[in-house]
Amino acid sequence: MVKIMKKEALWCETKRKKTFPSLKTGIKTDILIIGGGMVGISLALELEKEKKNYILIEADQIGHGVTGHSTGKLTFLQEANLVDIEKAFGQEKTDLYLKSQQDAIDIVTKNIIDYHIDCNFESTTSITFTNDYQEIPKLRKLETILERNNIPYHMINQEKDPEMLYGVSVKNTAVFHPVKYLEGILPFLKGKIFEHTKAIQYQKREFDYLVNTEEGYIIAKTIVFTCHYPFFTIPGLIPFKTHIERSYLCSFTVDKAKSISVINTKIPTISYRYHRDRKDYMIYLRNSHRLGQDLDYEHNYQELIKKAPTKNIDYIWQNQDVMTEDHLPLIGPIEKGNHHLLFATGFNTWGMTNGPLAAQILKDMILEKENPYQTLFLPNRGISLEKIKNFMIDTFYSGKNYIISKRKNYYSFYLDKVKIEHLEGKKVGIYLDENEKMHIVCTTCPHLGCGLTFNTFMKTWDCPCHGSRFTMEGKWIEGPSTKNINID
């Protein structure tokens, strides 16, 4: 029998002593940053270095979004995505992407040194491996890309490690505590910061933008959406250009941490790293799937628990990231050429490097300065075959998810503690908790109207289309919805 201590991310356990107030009035600024994760806080620091006037608002707590639920690896060996990028864009852009990721590791490392940030940063060897013969050619291709870029690597086979049929390893990568890293930056930010302040809409005015929050408003000349998944569909059409991938993770103590971070190339995804703190931990990820392709959340958690190399799990959680059709992030103007309305998303599960990189690109766009990586990530970049193929897959699954989420009989796998009913013309979900208290919520997602499904493991209502999540009482947790789903 496996013992589970906490259903929360290891990185989010420590609570910051100094928190920021929520915004309750109207306020004006040059630059508004919406979202305090890896991108938002990195951008605030970049603007601080340039002595710019900015405000940052965060819907919940800084760092506790996707960033605080990641595995916290800083690596350019990102599974075998360089091979996918080369397929979509060719050699030149692949090499540029690789260089951008190496630079991003340097940005984070330099910040840690310059600002004396204590965030359990540790140099590691990164490994991508496979246990499937058919995947070996992909890893060989990865080696070719590394060789072309003069990056030393090692080949691993079963003689060196019986767990790995074939693998590639590189040095000059690292791991860190992502929340401590962001919190270490906060004392150096002089711009105003508001937590528990959610942007719910924005509108263009003659010379600036007006952003409404739940209890206040902000007038800004430039807005940067660093909220992971923009809460609007037009402009940008993000729901049609991306999909969400969800993964299941846990963490537990080990006798001795190793200086390696590991990921495989195939489904089921296996990814792990170690973390040295007062105790040594392993962070272990198992199973990643396109959201909506697998709604049996309980089963995914049970698989993780079954396969985790321990009987004592200290922390267990899930996380989800925005995936793009052509494997490159989207960083830049939402509307072509408009440098006053910027965003960054679609990090394809590699935002610890792409986040700080995005911050530099966005800062340079605001300052109207050249950046060597700017064109690589432009959201309106050209169409490739890979993009068309994945666009069709994304559109198919979006439609399918929407229909599935609306079908009432889909709920048949729920415990008898969960019911879907109609109440005054609305579809509602009723959850009876362990104290027999009833929690009733509206099960239509306020974002784009998908049907919410109950996550029996986490006791949350989750949108299978675009990833909004809500507590059993109906309070927003994450995702593009700007509203709660509680019934007043």
Ligand X SMILES: Cc1cc2nc3c(=O)[nH]c(=O)nc-3n(C[C@H](O)[C@H](O)[C@H](O)COP(=O)(O)OP(=O)(O)OC[C@H]3O[C@@H](n4cnc5c(N)ncnc54)[C@H](O)[C@@H]3O)c2cc1C
Binding site for ligand X (CB under 6 A): 34-40, 57-60, 65-67, 70-73, 198-199, 226-228, 231, 247, 249, 285, 319-321, 347, 349-353, 355, 482
Q: What is the closest distance, in whole angstroms, from the C-beta atom of residue 187 to ligand X in the complex?
A: 19
Q: How far out from the chain centre does Cα 378 lie?
A: 19
Give whichever of 277 and 433 is closer to ligand X, judged by the CB atom: 277
Cα separation, 288 vs 399, in Å, equals 21
Give whichever of 251 and 420 is closer to ligand X, judged by the CB atom: 251
Pairing of strands 312-324, 199-204: unpaired
- Give the Cα-Cα-Cα angle 458, 460, 465 (nearest 5 degrees): 115
Q: What are phi and psi of 357, to 5 degrees?
A: -65, -45
Q: What is the closest distance, in whole angstroms, from the C-beta atom of residue 432 to ligand X in the complex?
A: 29
Q: What is the closest distance, in whole angstroms, from the C-beta atom of residue 456 to ligand X in the complex?
A: 20
In the sheet where 460-462 sits, what is the strand order? 453-455, 460-462, 469-471, 476-478
Q: What is the closest distance, in whole angstroms, from the C-beta atom of residue 480 to ligand X in the complex?
A: 7
Longest dimension (CA), the chain: 67
Give whichever of 261 and 456 is closer to ligand X, judged by the CB atom: 261
Q: What is the closest distance, in whole angstroms, from the C-beta atom of residue 338 to ligand X in the complex?
A: 20
Q: How far is CA 262 from CA 71, 79, 174, 273, in A?
A: 11, 9, 11, 6
Q: What is the closest distance, in whole angstroms, from the C-beta atom of residue 73 to ligand X in the complex?
A: 3
116: left (phi over 0), alpha (psi -120 to 50) or beta: left
User: Smallest Cα–Cα separation from 310: which of 280, 286, 282, 275?
Assistant: 282
Question: 3-class DSSP state for residue 113?
Answer: helix
Give whichever of 168 and 440 is closer to ligand X, judged by the CB atom: 168
Give whichever of 130 and 318 is closer to ligand X, judged by the CB atom: 318
Cα separation, 67 vs 108, in Å, equals 14
Give whichever of 246 and 439 is closer to ligand X, judged by the CB atom: 246
Give whichever of 275 and 340 is closer to ligand X, judged by the CB atom: 275
CB 284 within 8 A of CB 252: yes
| Sequence-separated (6 or more) residues with CB below 8 Å from residue 409 | none
Give whichever of 286 and 387 is closer to ligand X, judged by the CB atom: 286
Cα separation, 419 vs 414, in Å, equals 8
Give whichever of 74 and 146 is closer to ligand X, judged by the CB atom: 74
User: Smallest Cα–Cα separation from 266: which of 139, 402, 369, 161?
Assistant: 139
Q: What is the closest distance, in whole angstroms, from the C-beta atom of residue 104 to ligand X in the complex?
A: 9
CB 441 within 8 A of CB 487: yes
Give whichever of 169 and 320 is closer to ligand X, judged by the CB atom: 320
User: Smallest Cα–Cα separation from 202: which of 181, 183, 188, 223?
Assistant: 223
Give whichever of 23 and 472 is closer to ligand X, judged by the CB atom: 23
CB 486 within 8 A of CB 447: no
Cα separation, 484 vs 488, in Å, equals 11
Q: What is the closest distance, in whole angstroms, from the C-beta atom of residue 272 to ligand X in the complex?
A: 10
Q: What is the closest distance, in whole angstroms, from the C-beta atom of residue 160 to ligand X in the complex?
A: 24
Q: What is the closest distance, in whole angstroms, from the C-beta atom of residue 237 to ligand X in the complex?
A: 18
Q: What is the closest distance, in whole angstroms, from the C-beta atom of residue 331 to ligand X in the complex?
A: 10
Give whichever of 166 and 231 is closer to ligand X, judged by the CB atom: 231
| Sequence-separated (6 or more) residues with CB below 8 Å from residue 421 | 427, 428, 430
Q: How far is CA 287 from CA 359, 400, 469, in A?
A: 30, 21, 19
Q: What is the closest distance, in whole angstroms, from the C-beta atom of residue 157 to ligand X in the complex?
A: 25
Give whichever of 22 and 253 is closer to ligand X, judged by the CB atom: 22
Q: What is the closest distance, in whole angstroms, from the C-beta atom of residue 411 to ligand X in the complex?
A: 26
Cα separation, 75 vs 146, in Å, equals 13
Count CB atoms within 10 A of the CB of residue 37: 24
